Amino acid sequence: MAEALAVVGLVSSIIQFVEFGSKVLTRLYQYSGGIVEGPNVFRDVADRLPLMIDLVKKIQSQVEYGKVGNSSQQVFLPVIQSCSSQVMALDELLMKALPTPKDSSFKRGSKALLSIVRESEIEKIDAVLKTNFSLLVQAGTYHSVANLERSKSSPAQQTIHVATQHRLHPHLRSESTPEVSPAYPQSSPLFIVPFQRDHKFIPRRAIVDEMTRRFGIQRRVSIAGLGGVGKSQIAIEYCYLYKDAHPNAHVFWIYAGNATRFEQTYQEIARRLDLPDWDDPKVDTLQLVCEWLSDDHNGEWLMVVDNADDAATFYSSKRLLNSRRDESTKALARYLPQSSVGSMIITTRDKRVGEQLAGREKPIEVLPMTASDAEALLRSSLSQHEWSDTDATTLLEELAYLPLAITQAAAFISENGLDISEYLELLCTGDSELKELLSEHLEDPRRDFDTENSVMRTWK
């Protein structure tokens, strides 16, 4: 009984530290100017705290699987409790010292002055956190040695590893990151993304960097923008970047344009993972997959929920496809898994839906391309004899620099043996037959087959 209570106490302290540590990181990065304008110690905290959170989560995983003995728990507990009290105090100080976007210029100036006054207090907290971090690393080494004395297993299977790179999140790190070895049978990593990598993809580096930064402090990130602005293409590229950095993680792509396709993909995931009773018609496959992915012990994963444009798809009480034919089932949003080792990208045209599905976190707004990026995209899709600088500039302006409209226009030009000037004449014509020609569906291997792919409809 005493051992069980000790485990609960340690896990509770870890959860408390992660919660308040995440709040501190959110405060530091909600307003980027607060880090630049504030004392250097703010940046030190922003560098160190993600590493500490990552470490204690790994300790928690080991504790929950019974791999941490009483002696190790007694070493970890007071250190983590100290970490919790320090980040709670830090959260209060930052709330008073960091400016927010809503603050007046006078209040921002007052807080800047206050941050200088409070700098010594924050430095003391940071010094304690730094010491605790070293103690946790040492305790992890102690725990590893203790395990090795009791077991002949490989040191790599016993060690609690600590990330050594000062990065907010290891999502797109090219080096292999050592992880805690699970005590459960792992499925072979699945990569269920129905699109090939686009080697002509024009990097939207600012957006990808912002996604990576946010994944350091939250598990769900939504990207929102007009149809055709390139949200899905960014998500596709992110999937391949994530796969390169995390070869042992699962990657899933869920088309969320309608409930039927959503459920079909969950059924495919259950089948590919060979989950228990996945083919039993009485089993709720949505719940089965959600529970499996919500279990941290089943490993890392990335899920893209694409085309989540309609709130009714996620918050309506009825489902179109349900093996139990039960009309009183829960909304689809309840079946989006949550895990400390799982990440989710939501693409949407509706900022409100994106915010709701991302846990009330504001979406990253995806805007049309810059003129230079749009020109690079068009040039990569056309041959030299089809190209004209002047006509290309005019066409890109007509297409409002929308990536989808640009790729569709380039496809139409190539398929019909036109040059850009001839295409511009067609685009601006009032001829109904020509408009019908421009409205023909064009196959695009980078877009879902249920989405509209015609020049005229996108251009409108």
CA terminus-to-terminus distance, the chain: 68
pLDDT number for residue 387: 85
* Mean of pLDDT values over 150-160: 41
Q: How confident is the model at residue 294 (pLDDT cuts 50, 70, 90)?
A: very high
Q: Which residue has the higher pLDDT, 43 or 264?
A: 264
pLDDT number for residue 140: 58
pLDDT at 200 over 60: yes
Least confident of 103-117, 273-287, 313-327, 386-400: 103-117
Q: How far is CA 291 from CA 60, 274, 276, 297, in A?
A: 19, 14, 12, 11
* Mean of pLDDT values over 239-244: 94
pLDDT at 185 over 90: no
Q: Which residue has the higher pLDDT, 180 or 366?
A: 366
Least confident of 79-93, 105-119, 174-188, 238-252: 174-188
pLDDT at 233 over 90: yes
pLDDT number for residue 183: 33
Q: How confident is the model at residue 167 (pLDDT cuts 50, 70, 90)?
A: very low
Tens digits of residue pLDDT in 115-147? 554 566 777 787 888 887 777 776 655 455 445
**Mean pLDDT for the chain?**
76
Q: Exposed, middle or buried: residue 82 (CB in 10 Å: 0-12, 13-18, 19+)? A: middle
Share of the chain above pLDDT 70, in %: 69
pLDDT number for residue 214: 94
The residues near 170 (Cβ < 8 Å, ≥ 6 apart) are 54, 163, 177, 245
Residue 406 to residue 433: CA distance in whole angstroms: 22
pLDDT number for residue 131: 81
* Mean of pLDDT values over 205-226: 94
* Mean of pLDDT values over 325-347: 82
pLDDT at 425 over 60: yes
- Three-state secondary structure readout of the chain: CHHHHHHHHHHHHHHHHHHHHHHHHHHHHHCHHHHHHCCHHHHHHHHHHHHHHHHHHHHHHHHHCCCCCHHHHHHHHHHHHHHHHHHHHHHHHHHHHCCCCCCCHHHHHHHHHHHHHCHHHHHHHHHHHHHHHHHHHHHHHHHHHHHHHHCCCCHHHHCCCCCCCCCCCCCCCCCCCCCCCCCCCCCCCCEECCCCCCCCCCCCHHHHHHHHHHHCCCCEEEEECCCCCCHHHHHHHHHHHHHHHCCCCEEEEEECCCHHHHHHHHHHHHHHHCCCCCCCCCCCHHHHHHHHHHCHHHCCEEEEEECCCCHHHHHCCCCCCCCCCCCCCCCHHHHCCCCCCEEEEEEECCHHHHHHHCCCCCCEECCCCCHHHHHHHHHHHCCHHHCCHHHHHHHHHHCCCCHHHHHHHHHHHHHCCCCHHHHHHHHCCCCHHHHHHHCCCCCCCCCCCCCCCCHHHHHC
pLDDT at 212 over 80: yes
Residue 259 to residue 100: CA distance in whole angstroms: 39
CB atoms within 10 A of CB 276: 10
pLDDT number for residue 42: 73
Residue 177's closest CA among 161, 155, 159? 161
Least confident of 294-308, 367-381, 440-454: 440-454
* Mean of pLDDT values over 158-167: 37
pLDDT number for residue 63: 80
Amino acid at 431: D
* Mean of pLDDT values over 224-230: 90
Instruction: Tell me the whole-structure pTM to 2 decimals.
Output: 0.58
Least confident of 36-40, 261-265, 351-355: 36-40
